[in-house]
Amino acid sequence: MGNRGLFITFEGPDGSGKTTQINKLAAVLKKEETPFILTREPGGTAISDKVRAIILNPKYSELTSKTEILLYAASRSQHVDEKIRPALESGKIVLCDRFIDASIAYQGYGLGQPVDRVRSINRFASGGLTPDRTYLIDISPEAGRRRMIVRGGRSGEGLKNAARGLDRIERRHLAYHRRVREGFLTLYRENKQRIVLINGEREEDAVFQCILQDFRRFFNKHMTYDMKG
């Protein structure tokens, strides 16, 4: 990996707690003065955030699966060129909340679109960029949904009312989210060198210790130069 930074992604079904975990890792890096950026998908740049607003807006029920794949890929392409690659080239660690694995799990396995096509569109969009390490925080769709409802302060309402605060993707049926989860687990089985599977149904701190331990080992193995120099 030379003097290029490390590209670290966090993935998982909705409600897995990955955003909390990525923020915790960012706080450690900040404290230790390790150069990094924290970013997310869809989004991460002004243009990509506009695309995010379209993709997640529940009012666009007419949005087709093909358009959905392409919008995620468009958002990603801008994000990679404008933000991720320059940060990696300057030696920074890039912490990214979701990347191509999410498109494969949500649009490929979830929507039943051809996984190879989703992969090749995204290869084009990202210029072939692959994460160096991915933390896949696994949770059942039932537990994930409960968490999202509690997080949104909607636990006192019925499930139907509670769904009102969810975005266009989160609102999909549990069967869809089961396929997404299975998709992520398939990706894990195919990429065990890169993807670390974490049980996200445990205590927040226990989950974080697992991530931090692996991250430190990975960092020490791959970052051979003095990042503060």
List of residues contacting ligand TMP (CB under 6 A): 14, 41-42, 56, 72, 97-98, 102-103, 106-107, 169-170
C-alpha count within 13 angstroms, C-beta hemisphere, residue 174: 10
Least distance (Å) from ligand TMP to the CB of residue 35? 24
Q: Which amino acid is it at 93? A: I
**Euclidean distance between CA atoms 216 and 214, whole angstroms:** 6
Count CB-CB contacts under 10 A for residue 59.
8
Sheet holding 36-40, edge to edge: 36-40, 93-97, 7-11, 133-138, 195-199
Beta bridge partners of 40: 97
Nearer to ligand TMP, 24 or 222 (CB): 24
Least distance (Å) from ligand TMP to the CB of residue 213? 24
Q: Which residue's CB comes closest to ligand TMP?
A: 106
Least distance (Å) from ligand TMP to the CB of residue 42? 5
Nearer to ligand TMP, 22 or 93 (CB): 22
Nearer to ligand TMP, 28 or 111 (CB): 111
Nearer to ligand TMP, 5 or 103 (CB): 103
Least distance (Å) from ligand TMP to the CB of residue 119? 12
Least distance (Å) from ligand TMP to the CB of residue 91? 25
Nearer to ligand TMP, 132 or 170 (CB): 170
- Encode burial over 1-40: b for 16+ CB neighbours within 10 A, e otherwise: eeebbbbbbbbbbbbbbbeebbebbbeebeeeebebbbbb
Map tokens 């995204």 to a residue: 122
